[in-house]
Amino acid sequence: MGFWAHLDREAVFERGDVYRVGFDAERAAHAPVRLAVLGAGGVAQSKYLPALAQLRTRWEPVELVALSTLDARAADKLATVWGAPVYADSATLLRDHRPDAVLVTSSDDAHAELTLAALEAGAHVLVEKPIAESLGSAAAMCRAAEAAERLLVTTCNKRYSPPYAEARRLLDAGALPRPALFSAKFVLGYEYVDLLASGTIHVFDLARHFMGDVRRLSAVSAAADLGIVVMLEFANGAIGSVVTTGAALSLHPWERVEIFGEHAWLEVDDQLTLTLHAAEYEPAQAWSPAMPNTLLSAEEWGGYVGMLEAFLAGVRGGAGELDPLDGYRALELVTASRLSLERRAPVDLPLDGDTLQ
């Protein structure tokens, strides 16, 4: 894939199919998946449904069988725009349609209930982050998925965003010998979302994605509403920090990830540019897309297309690149950060109590 991870070179340069809508025999031969969306609000309509439409346009055999929402005013619009019946009651939807797979994109308070209902109805589930409102609920969801022998994946869209996907590829290729230090900043200015559970959780997931499990965490804050610093000790001996605030600017949430190895490091700035610093006497290798880019959709950039592809591959029984416990572990880092702030002391992981080991 190389640095142009988001562009299919063969499609662009050899077939002249720059938008990748030409017949794709390999994709079209995938087993069909019947999918429902439970909780079709903002993120479903602006990210998931466009990403699904894009995959279908590229010959992915995934059928949208039904949607649910509690917003009665949106029902007609949703049915017209997305061409599927809309339900207020998700249990009736599940009974009527028996989908193979379900996206739970409702508000956080309904994640657990809708996920358990979908698993019970035999569906594989992709649930938005945070997986649940408590670790206990998250553990129950993971256990239910295991018992039902169904996939349960939590949104980790940033992993599939091109600069982060490329950073992961560089790490796998050994571009950073002995990666030992992770540093991230995540800032936003929204007051209507919980900073740690709704925002910083993305960066916690990236910390685990790049560095592995965390064994100890320590959070400090001058004033929790103004900023938190979380220090991480990873199970493999690496260390890291996450600096986060909800008191920045609403219209420009910003994030930055740096990973340091032995005499080599990389940075992903603002989910946009990737730079690899790996040679003393040569320029750094920097990559940033031309934006706006007519060949690149926002859904690909946000990682939704890639994440849905990975989910569908899992639904079809493919090699599981998505670990069902990832969503649980990301929420565990949020919970442990809060505990550490409360106790003013480091917290060891995994947490005791109603948790999965």
Ligand X SMILES: NC(=O)c1ccc[n+]([C@@H]2O[C@H](COP(=O)([O-])OP(=O)(O)OC[C@H]3O[C@@H](n4cnc5c(N)ncnc54)[C@H](O)[C@@H]3O)[C@@H](O)[C@H]2O)c1
Our CB check for ligand X shows the closer of 157 and 200 to be 157
Nearest partner of 337 among 166, 144, 186, judged by Cα: 186
Which CB atom, from 45 or from 245, has the smaller least distance to ligand X? 45
Give min distance, CB of 23 to ligand X, in A. Answer: 32
What are the CA-CA distances from residue 95 to residues 61, 86, 122, 177, 217 (Å)? Answer: 22, 14, 10, 52, 43
By C-beta, is 114 or 312 nearer to ligand X? 114
Who's near 46: CB < 8 A, 6+ residues apart? none
When the beta carbons of 31 and 193 are compared against ligand X, the nearer one is: 193
**Closest distance to ligand X from the beta carbon of 173 (Å):** 27
Helix H or strand E segment including 50: helix 49-57
Q: Which is nearer to ligand X, 193 or 284 (CB)?
A: 193
The nearest distance, CB 108 to ligand X, in angstroms, is 4
Give contact residues for ligand X (rule: CB under 6 A): 38-44, 68-71, 90, 105-108, 110, 114, 128-129, 155, 157, 198
* Residue 260 CB, nearest approach to ligand X (Å): 27
Residue showing the smallest CB distance to ligand X in the complex:
41
Q: Token digits for 338?
A: 């809060």
Residues whose CB falls within 8 Å of the CB of residue 333, separated by 6 or more in sequence, listed in order: 201, 204, 207, 208, 214, 217, 230, 349
Q: What tokens does 311 get?
A: 């989910």
Q: How far is the CB of 259 from ligand X (least distance, A)?
A: 21
Is the Cβ of residue 105 or residue 335 nearer to ligand X in the bound state?
105
From the list 172, 157, 168, 152, the residue with the least C-alpha distance to 328 is 152
CB of 103 to ligand X, least distance (A): 10
Look at the block and give the residue holding tokens 């010959």. Answer: 59
- Enclosing H/E stretch for 268: strand 265-269
